[in-house]
Amino acid sequence: MAQLTEARSGHYPLGLLVLRIATGLFFLVWALDKLVNPKHTLAVFEKFYFMPISVTVALALGVAQTAIVIAFMVGLYKKWTTLALLAMHSVALASTWSHLISPYSGGPGLVFWAAVPVWAGLLLLWLCRDDDRLWSIH
Task: State which H helix or E strand residue 86 sits in.
Answer: helix 78-95
Percent of the chain at pLDDT exceeding 90: 83
Q: Are the beta carbons of 26 and 71 closer than 8 angstroms?
A: no
1 pLDDT more than 50? no
Residue 20: count other Cβ atoms within 10 Å of its Cβ: 26
The pLDDT value given to residue 3: 53
